[in-house]
Amino acid sequence: GAVVSQHPSRVICKSGTSVKIECRSLDFQATTMFWYRQFPKKSLMLMATSNEGSKATYEQGVEKDKFLINHASLTLSTLTVTSAHPEDSSFYICSASWVNTEAFFGQGTRLTVV
Protein backbone atom coordinates (compact mmCIF):
# COMPACT_ATOMS: atom_id res chain seq x y z
CA GLY A 1 0.00 0.00 0.00
CA ALA A 2 0.88 3.66 -0.24
CA VAL A 3 3.18 5.17 2.38
CA VAL A 4 2.20 8.10 4.58
CA SER A 5 4.85 9.42 6.92
CA GLN A 6 3.93 11.40 10.01
CA HIS A 7 6.47 13.27 12.12
CA PRO A 8 7.20 13.45 14.98
CA SER A 9 5.92 10.21 16.48
CA ARG A 10 6.10 11.63 19.99
CA VAL A 11 6.35 15.17 21.30
CA ILE A 12 6.24 16.71 24.74
CA CYS A 13 5.71 20.44 25.01
CA LYS A 14 5.08 23.00 27.69
CA SER A 15 1.66 24.50 28.18
CA GLY A 16 1.23 27.65 26.10
CA THR A 17 3.64 26.68 23.34
CA SER A 18 2.81 25.57 19.79
CA VAL A 19 3.56 22.25 18.17
CA LYS A 20 3.69 21.38 14.47
CA ILE A 21 2.96 17.89 13.14
CA GLU A 22 3.84 16.96 9.56
CA CYS A 23 2.10 14.47 7.33
CA ARG A 24 3.74 13.45 4.07
CA SER A 25 2.59 11.15 1.30
CA LEU A 26 5.82 9.55 0.12
CA ASP A 27 4.87 7.74 -3.06
CA PHE A 28 1.71 9.41 -4.33
CA GLN A 29 0.12 12.83 -4.67
CA ALA A 30 -2.58 13.29 -2.06
CA THR A 31 -5.34 15.60 -3.18
CA THR A 32 -6.91 15.33 0.24
CA MET A 33 -5.53 14.76 3.71
CA PHE A 34 -7.52 14.17 6.85
CA TRP A 35 -6.58 14.84 10.46
CA TYR A 36 -7.97 12.70 13.26
CA ARG A 37 -7.72 12.71 17.00
CA GLN A 38 -7.92 9.53 19.05
CA PHE A 39 -8.47 9.25 22.78
CA PRO A 40 -7.36 6.14 24.71
CA LYS A 41 -9.42 3.11 23.76
CA LYS A 42 -11.64 5.27 21.59
CA SER A 43 -12.12 5.47 17.87
CA LEU A 44 -10.77 8.05 15.48
CA MET A 45 -12.59 11.37 15.48
CA LEU A 46 -12.26 13.42 12.32
CA MET A 47 -11.00 16.92 13.06
CA ALA A 48 -10.63 18.42 9.61
CA THR A 49 -10.35 17.73 5.91
CA SER A 50 -7.52 19.41 4.05
CA ASN A 51 -7.49 19.90 0.29
CA GLU A 52 -4.32 21.00 -1.44
CA GLY A 53 -4.29 24.72 -2.12
CA SER A 54 -7.48 25.55 -0.26
CA LYS A 55 -8.62 26.17 3.29
CA ALA A 56 -9.28 23.19 5.51
CA THR A 57 -12.81 22.19 6.43
CA TYR A 58 -13.20 21.69 10.16
CA GLU A 59 -15.67 19.39 11.88
CA GLN A 60 -18.18 20.86 14.27
CA GLY A 61 -16.64 21.62 17.64
CA VAL A 62 -13.05 21.78 16.41
CA GLU A 63 -11.43 25.17 16.99
CA LYS A 64 -9.86 26.27 13.73
CA ASP A 65 -7.76 28.92 15.48
CA LYS A 66 -6.26 26.32 17.81
CA PHE A 67 -5.69 23.61 15.23
CA LEU A 68 -4.13 25.27 12.20
CA ILE A 69 -3.97 23.11 9.10
CA ASN A 70 -1.90 23.86 6.03
CA HIS A 71 -1.85 21.78 2.86
CA ALA A 72 0.55 23.68 0.67
CA SER A 73 1.54 20.84 -1.64
CA LEU A 74 0.22 17.50 -2.88
CA THR A 75 2.59 15.65 -0.59
CA LEU A 76 2.58 17.66 2.64
CA SER A 77 0.02 18.77 5.19
CA THR A 78 0.79 20.20 8.60
CA LEU A 79 -1.25 20.47 11.79
CA THR A 80 -0.15 23.12 14.27
CA VAL A 81 -1.58 22.97 17.77
CA THR A 82 -1.35 26.56 18.98
CA SER A 83 -1.09 27.59 22.62
CA ALA A 84 -1.30 23.97 23.67
CA HIS A 85 -2.85 23.00 26.98
CA PRO A 86 -2.90 19.67 28.83
CA GLU A 87 -6.38 18.90 27.48
CA ASP A 88 -4.89 18.93 23.97
CA SER A 89 -2.80 15.90 24.89
CA SER A 90 -3.87 13.11 22.59
CA PHE A 91 -2.92 10.85 19.70
CA TYR A 92 -3.16 12.69 16.39
CA ILE A 93 -3.30 10.76 13.11
CA CYS A 94 -3.30 11.92 9.53
CA SER A 95 -4.47 10.09 6.46
CA ALA A 96 -4.04 10.78 2.79
CA SER A 97 -5.89 9.75 -0.31
CA TRP A 98 -6.70 10.78 -3.81
CA VAL A 99 -9.97 10.47 -5.66
CA ASN A 100 -11.63 7.08 -5.22
CA THR A 101 -8.78 5.36 -3.44
CA GLU A 102 -8.34 3.94 0.01
CA ALA A 103 -7.17 6.28 2.75
CA PHE A 104 -3.70 5.46 4.03
CA PHE A 105 -2.72 6.49 7.51
CA GLY A 106 0.40 7.88 9.08
CA GLN A 107 1.98 6.35 12.15
CA GLY A 108 0.38 8.88 14.48
CA THR A 109 1.80 11.49 16.84
CA ARG A 110 1.51 11.22 20.60
CA LEU A 111 1.29 14.76 21.96
CA THR A 112 1.78 15.36 25.67
CA VAL A 113 1.36 18.87 27.01
CA VAL A 114 2.86 19.44 30.44
- Cα-based distances in Å from 85 to 43, 60, 62, 95, 104: 22, 20, 15, 24, 29
Q: By C-beta, is 42 or 64 nearer to another protein? A: 42
Q: By C-beta, is 83 or 107 nearer to another protein? A: 107
Rounded-to-10 torsion of CA 20, 24, 29, 35? -50
Verify binding: residue 6, another protein, rule CB under 8 A: yes
Smallest gap from residue 99 Cβ to another protein (A)? 6
Strands 44-51 and 57-58: antiparallel
DSSP 31: S
Q: By C-beta, is 44 or 82 nearer to another protein? A: 44
Q: Per CB under 8 A, which region of 11-19, 69-77, 81-89, 93-101 contacts another protein?
A: 93-101
Restricted to residues 13-42, the positions that interact with another protein (CB under 8 A) are 31-32, 34, 41-42
